[in-house]
């Protein structure tokens, strides 16, 4: 058993974890199988954020079994945590490991142990810090795991356990390693990163301030942060920082206060609006991405309209829109008003063009400004791409010397790549 292959579904956290476990496997004498090669060990790191994600995972497992009939197949991650028996019963699956148990893969392989390990969610106390290695340019640095919020529609706290984090010292040490290996950009990653510090008695703002001092790293992105945890202090610090990028990703989920209450979110639309306006006041060119869910139980047509009009009125740059998906064990299932699938699709068709319009307005507002682009390594039909500090995606003809380099350019309309 010498070669391995990872199949990762879901969020950046999963990708960071797969990448880090892959590195440990290499240190333990394994080699990564090439894209078109059969592997001796296949590891599927699953996601359970929606019904569709579950389906994708099951299909991926079946395809991997067909493509690698003799491989030792490990299934781990959030879906494995919540549906371990179901996944263990798929023919060809050799070992199922829970979401926080994936880090014992190297040990399991060493002794060829096929006993499943799915730790109870409430016992998921250890925090495994890690970061992605694959891409030399951008590194996803895991700073936090789990969530204590229990929003009514979300199954993630059942899959990833309670909120926990590494210490500032531990995380800064990983950031220094990234800088030492030539990494230029770090994206702070977690389930609910604003909640950082619960298990170590520290604060997210102190992590931000300490990371800001790490030399060698050119820029840091906060990634997704809950609006109620995005304090004015954080916004003010980012506005002055040389390293933290003017880029925010704030999950709103719905712009109607009535639905936000049903969702058991920790804020109302006014708080969200105040945060967006504060960011724009201090950083007029900041990119603001927003997550939205359409068709949540209880979201009547009127409330959807209210939500759409609210987000439409705000100076945000892009929407990430998801149709509501029923998750077993969640409180939302008790809400009687259910939105038909066809109606969810209709609402998606309204929100997606709104997002495209917002992105276009934001990109166009940047024409003529001087920005720093960090060029990435992908060569797609002779074209490479990169992001500015304020998350404008630009492209140019592929040039190997530019990879992982920062270039100051004046933005022009024909440079934009809208596929973010
Ligand atoms: S904050 Fe809410 S939506 Fe986000 S992971 Fe926690 S429970 Fe789920």
In a domain? residue 312: yes
In a domain? residue 334: yes
Residues 107 and 159 in one domain: no
Residues 99 and 211 in one domain: no
CATH number at 298 reads: 3.80.30.20
Residues 93 and 158 in one domain: no
CA of 153 to the centre of ligand 1 (A): 8
CA of 165 to the centre of ligand 1 (A): 16
In a domain? residue 269: yes
> According to the model, what pLDDT value does residue 118 have?
86
191 lines ligand 1 (CB under 6 A): yes
Residues 285 and 236 in one domain: yes
Residue 114, classed as helix, strand or coil, is coil
Burial per residue of 65-99, b for 16 or more beta-carbon CB atoms within 10 angstroms, e otherwise: beebeebbbbbbbbbbbbbbeebeeeebbebbbbb
CB 333 within 8 A of CB 326: yes
In a domain? residue 128: no
> According to the model, what pLDDT value does residue 112 have?
76
157 lines ligand 1 (CB under 6 A): yes
54 lines ligand 1 (CB under 6 A): no
Percent of the chain whose predicted confidence (pLDDT) is above 70: 100
List the residue whose alpha carbon is closest to atom 8 of ligand 1: 154
In a domain? residue 377: yes
CATH number at 112 reads: 3.40.50.12160
The DSSP result for 177-215, as a single string, is: HHHHTT--EEEEE-SSGGGTTTTTT--HHHHHHHHTT-T
Residue 383 DSSP label: E
User: Looking at ligand 1, which atom is closest to the CA of residue 191?
Assistant: 5
Residues 187 and 274 in one domain: yes
Residues 167 and 217 in one domain: yes
CA of 26 to the centre of ligand 1 (A): 33
CB 295 within 8 A of CB 347: yes
147 lines ligand 1 (CB under 6 A): yes
In a domain? residue 260: yes
Residues 162 and 296 in one domain: yes
User: Looking at ligand 1, which atom is closest to the CA of residue 148?
Assistant: 6
337 lines ligand 1 (CB under 6 A): no
In a domain? residue 127: no
- Taking only the tens place, the pLDDT of each residue in 252-304 is 999 999 999 999 999 999 999 999 999 999 999 999 999 999 999 999 999 99
CA distance 20 to 166: 15
149 lines ligand 1 (CB under 6 A): yes
- Taking only the tens place, the pLDDT of each residue in 310-369 is 999 999 999 999 999 999 999 999 999 999 999 999 999 999 999 999 999 999 999 999
Residues 262 and 399 in one domain: no
Residue 15 phi, psi (nearest 5): -65, -45
What's the alpha-carbon Rg for the chain, to the nearest Å?
Answer: 22
Residues 185 and 319 in one domain: yes
Residues 162 and 71 in one domain: no
CB 25 within 8 A of CB 39: no
CB 49 within 8 A of CB 10: yes
Structural domain boundaries, residue 156: 138-365
In a domain? residue 131: no
Residues 315 and 242 in one domain: yes
DSSP H helices, 295-340, are 301-312
CB 3 within 8 A of CB 40: yes
Count of domains in the chain?
3
> According to the model, what pLDDT value does residue 102 have?
94
Residues 310 and 173 in one domain: yes
279's enclosing H/E stretch is: helix 269-282
Pocket test for ligand 1, best of 11, 146, 157 (most atoms within 8 A of CB): 157
In the predicted model, residues of the chain with pLDDT beneath 70 are 1
> According to the model, what pLDDT value does residue 35 have?
84
């Amino acid at each position: 058993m010498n070669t391995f292959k990872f199949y990762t579904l879901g969020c950046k956290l999963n990708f960071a974890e797969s990448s880090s476990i892959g590195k440990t496997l290499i240190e333990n004498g394994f080699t990564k199988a090439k894209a078109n090669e059969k592997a001796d060990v296949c590891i599927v790191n699953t996601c359970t954020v929606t019904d569709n994600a579950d389906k994708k995972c099951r299909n991926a497992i079946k395809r991997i079994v067909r493509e690698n009939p003799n491989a030792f197949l490990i299934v781990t991650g959030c879906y494995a945590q919540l549906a371990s028996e179901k996944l263990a019963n798929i023919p060809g699956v050799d070992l199922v490991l829970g979401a926080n148990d994936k880090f014992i893969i190297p040990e399991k392989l060493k002794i060829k142990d096929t006993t499943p390990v799915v730790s109870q969610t409430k016992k998921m106390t250890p925090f495994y810090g890690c970061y992605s290695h694959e891409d030399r340019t951008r590194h996803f640095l895991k700073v936090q795991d789990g969530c204590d919020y229990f929003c009514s529609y979300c199954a993630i706290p059942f899959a990833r356990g309670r909120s926990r984090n590494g210490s500032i010292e531990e995380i800064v040490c990983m950031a220094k390693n990234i800088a030492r290996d030539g990494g230029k950009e770090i994206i702070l990653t977690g389930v609910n990163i604003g909640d950082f510090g619960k298990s170590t008695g520290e604060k997210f703002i102190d992590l931000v301030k300490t990371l800001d001092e790490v030399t060698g790293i050119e820029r840091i992105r906060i990634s997704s942060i809950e609006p109620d945890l995005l304090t004015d202090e954080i916004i003010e610090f980012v506005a002055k920082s040389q390293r933290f990028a003017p880029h925010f990703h704030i999950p709103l989920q719905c712009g109607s206060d009535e639905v936000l209450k049903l969702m058991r979110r920790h804020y109302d639309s006014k708080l969200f609006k105040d945060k967006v306006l504060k960011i724009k006041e201090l950083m007029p060119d900041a990119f603001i991405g927003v997550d939205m869910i359409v068709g949540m139980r209880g979201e009547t047509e009127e409330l959807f309209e209210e939500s759409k009009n609210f987000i439409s009125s705000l100076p945000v740059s892009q929407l990430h829109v998801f149709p509501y998906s029923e998750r077993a064990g969640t409180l939302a299932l008790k809400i009687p008003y259910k939105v038909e699938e066809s109606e969810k699709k209709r609402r998606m068709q309204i929100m997606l063009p709104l997002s495209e319009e917002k992105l276009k307005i934001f990109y166009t507002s940047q024409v003529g400004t001087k920005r720093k682009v960090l060029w990435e390594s992908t060569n797609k039909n002779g074209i490479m791409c990169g992001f500015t500090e304020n998350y404008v995606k630009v492209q140019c003809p592929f040039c190997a010397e530019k990879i992982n380099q920062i270039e100051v350019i004046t933005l022009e309309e024909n440079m934009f790549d809208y596929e973010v």
